[in-house]
C-alpha cells in the first residue's frame, strides 16, 4: 500500500490530504503539488512565547505569573490560544509577524501542515481553529473541554494542525504538574504545501470512501465561524447551501452516482 | 508521551545519623521542589541513580498516596546505600514505578543514616509517561 505520509509525518509531493470538518460533516481533498520547504522541515522555535510577568489562570481557579520568559508555571494554562511570532530575521517579510504560520487569503494554493512538539512532553496542548474559538465539547457540547479541563480535552507533548490561509490557528498549553515550573521548548515539523483540489469526482469519491490512499486529518472544528467560512467560500470557492459551505460530503459506497454528480457541481466553482 | 526528568538534590548534614528530604532541581524545571506530584493517569519510573558524598548516607525513594495530608503518609519504596565517601552509580534493570491514580500521590527523595558531617548529593532519572508499559 502506498505511504500517505513520509518519515516526518508529512504528505509527499503528489500525495493526497483529506481535511475533515466535523461541523460540516464533510471534507476537502487536496493534492499536494509540491512542498516548498523540502529538506528543511524542522523549525526549532524556542521557548513558548510567554513573556515573564504574563498572568495565567491555574487549575485551582486562582492566577499565577510567568516567572521567566518561556516558563509555564506549575498548575497553570494559557487562557487564550498562543500564536508564534516570527523570528526577527523574517518578521518584516512574513504576512503576519505575530503568527509565523499565518497565510494571506492570496495564498489560496498554500497550506501549512504543522506538527508541533513541545518539551517537556508533559505539557498539555490544544489546537484552536480559529484561535479565539473554543472547539472541544463533550456530549453534544453539554460540557466544554480543553486544556483548561483536567484529564480530558488535550494531548500531551504534541499537536497537529493545518493552517488554512487567513485563518488564525492557535495553540493552548497547560502544565498540570504540581510545584514544577517548566522550562519549555517548541519544535515544529512542518510542510509548506502547494495544493490543488483534484478535479476528478471519481478520485474524491474513492478517497472519501477510503478506497484510495490519502492522509486523513480531522480538524478540531466543531463550531462554525465566519472566519473559516470566508476562506472556504471566498478563497477556495466552495459554493454555499443555506448559508453554509458545501464541501465534499461523505456519501455511502452505494451512493456513488449521487456523489459524483454532487462533487462535479462543486468542482466547477472551485478556485484552487 | 515519555519524559525523562533528571533530578538532582544536595544536602549538607552536620552530624552522623542525620536524615531529611532532598530539595530537587532539574534542567527542565526553573524552580526547586520536593515532591514529584503529577496528575492522574501518569506514571513515574525511577531509573538510574547516582549517589555521591563526602560521607556515607542512605538514599530513600519515598511514596505518599496523599501529599495533601498533613503530614503526608509516606513509605519507603526503594533505597540505596553509599557505604563510604565517593560515588555510586546504580542503573536499575527494572525501575521503581509510581502510578498516579488520584493525582494526590507523590514521590520524593530523602536521606538517612549519614556517616557524619559533609556534603551529599544524588542524581536520578525519572521517566514520566502516560503509557501502559
- The predicted model gives A28-55 an average pLDDT of 97
Which residue in A180, A181, A182, A183 has the most chain B C-beta atoms within 10 A of its own C-beta, making it the best mutation to test that interface?
Answer: A180
For residue A124, the chain B residue with the least C-alpha distance is: B1
Please report the pLDDT score of residue A81 as a whole number.
Answer: 96
pLDDT at A1 over 50: no
Q: What is the pLDDT of residues B25-63, one digit of tens each?
A: 999 999 999 999 999 999 999 998 899 999 999 999 999
**Does any CB of chain B come closer than 8 Å to the CB of residue A151?**
yes
Q: For position B132, what pLDDT does the model report?
A: 80
* B130 interaction partners in chain A (CB closer than 8 Å): 156
**A53 interfaces chain B, CB cutoff of 8 Å:** no
- Nearest CB among A150, A178, A181 relative to B30 is that of A181
pTM value surpassing 0.80? yes
Rounded CA separation A114/A53 (Å) = 29
Q: Does A70 touch chain B (CB under 8 A)?
A: no
ipTM: 0.94
Q: Which of residues 64-123 of B touch A (CB under 8 A)?
A: 67, 103, 106
pLDDT on residue B72: 97
Q: Do B41 and A122 touch (CB under 8 A)?
A: no
**Is there a contact between A71 and B30 if contact means CB atoms under 8 Å apart?**
yes
Question: Which of B1, B5, B40 is nearest residue A156 as measured by Cβ atoms?
Answer: B1
Query: Cis peptide before B71, with omega less than 30 degrees from 0?
Result: yes
Query: What CATH number does the domain located at B2-129 have?
Result: 2.60.120
Chain A residue with CA closest to B105: the answer is A178
Query: Which grid cell sits at B118?
Result: 559533609
**What are the residue ranges spanned by the domains of chain A?**
16-34+196-267, 42-193
* A89 reaches B (C-beta below 8 A): no
The three cell numbers of residue A115 are: 506538527
For chain B, domain boundaries:
2-129
The set of residues, in sequence order, having a beta carbon less than 8 Å from that of A44 and lying 6+ positions away, is: A185, A187
The pLDDT tens digits of the residues spanning A75-85 come to 999 999 999 99
Show the CA angle centred on residue A29, arms to residues A232 and A204, nearest 5°.
Answer: 125
The rounded distance, in Å, linking the Cα atoms of B27 and B19 is: 26
- What pLDDT, on the 0 to 100 scale, is given for residue B83? 96
HSE-CB at B36 with a 13 A cutoff on CA atoms is: 32
How many beta-carbon pairs below 8 A join chains A and B?
Answer: 57
Amino acid at each position: 500500500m502506498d505511504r500517505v505520509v513520509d518519515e516526518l509525518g508529512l504528505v509527499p509531493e503528489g500525495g493526497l490530504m483529506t481535511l475533515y470538518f466535523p461541523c460540516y460533516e464533510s471534507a476537502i481533498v487536496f493534492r499536494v503539488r509540491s512542498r516548498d520547504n523540502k529538506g528543511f522541515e524542522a523549525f526549532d522555535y524556542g521557548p513558548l512565547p510567554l513573556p515573564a510577568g504574563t498572568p495565567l489562570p491555574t487549575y485551582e481557579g486562582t492566577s499565577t505569573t510567568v516567572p521567566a520568559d518561556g516558563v509555564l508555571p506549575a498548575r497553570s494554562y494559557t487562557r487564550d490560544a498562543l500564536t508564534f511570532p516570527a523570528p526577527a530575521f523574517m518578521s518584516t517579510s512574513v504576512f503576519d509577524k505575530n503568527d509565523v504560520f499565518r497565510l494571506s487569503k492570496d495564498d489560496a494554493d498554500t497550506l501549512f501542515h504543522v506538527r508541533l512538539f513541545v518539551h517537556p512532553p508533559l505539557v498539555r496542548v490544544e489546537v484552536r481553529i480559529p484561535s479565539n474559538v473554543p472547539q472541544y465539547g463533550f456530549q453534544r457540547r453539554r460540557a466544554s473541554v480543553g486544556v483548561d479541563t483536567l484529564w480530558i480535552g488535550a494531548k500531551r507533548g504534541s499537536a497537529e494542525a493545518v493552517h488554512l490561509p487567513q485563518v488564525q490557528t492557535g495553540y493552548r498549553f497547560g502544565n498540570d504538574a504540581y510545584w514544577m515550573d517548566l522550562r519549555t521548548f517548541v519544535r515544529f515539523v512542518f510542510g509548506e504545501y502547494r495544493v490543488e483540489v483534484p478535479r476528478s469526482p471519481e478520485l474524491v469519491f474513492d478517497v472519501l470512501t477510503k478506497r484510495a490512499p490519502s492522509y486523513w486529518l480531522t480538524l478540531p472544528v466543531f463550531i462554525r465561524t465566519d472566519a473559516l467560512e470566508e476562506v472556504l467560500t471566498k478563497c477556495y470557492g466552495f459554493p454555499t447551501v443555506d448559508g453554509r459551505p458545501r464541501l465534499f460530503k461523505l456519501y455511502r459506497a452505494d451512493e456513488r452516482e449521487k456523489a459524483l454528480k454532487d462533487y462535479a457541481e462543486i468542482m466547477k466553482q472551485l478556485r484552487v | 508521551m515519555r519524559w525523562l526528568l533528571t533530578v538532582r538534590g544536595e544536602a549538607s548534614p552536620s552530624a552522623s545519623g542525620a536524615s531529611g528530604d532532598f530539595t530537587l532541581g532539574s534542567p527542565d524545571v526553573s524552580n526547586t521542589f520536593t515532591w514529584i506530584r503529577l496528575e492522574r493517569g501518569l506514571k513515574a519510573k525511577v531509573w538510574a541513580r547516582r549517589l555521591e558524598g563526602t560521607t556515607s548516607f542512605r538514599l530513600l525513594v519515598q511514596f505518599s498516596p496523599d501529599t495533601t495530608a498533613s503530614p503526608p503518609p509516606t513509605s519507603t519504596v526503594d533505597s540505596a546505600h553509599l557505604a563510604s565517601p565517593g560515588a555510586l552509580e546504580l542503573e536499575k534493570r527494572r525501575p521503581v514505578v509510581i502510578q498516579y491514580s488520584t493525582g494526590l500521590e507523590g514521590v520524593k527523595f530523602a536521606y538517612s543514616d549519614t556517616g557524619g558531617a559533609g556534603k551529599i548529593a544524588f542524581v536520578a532519572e525519572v521517566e514520566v509517561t502516560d503509557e501502559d508499559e
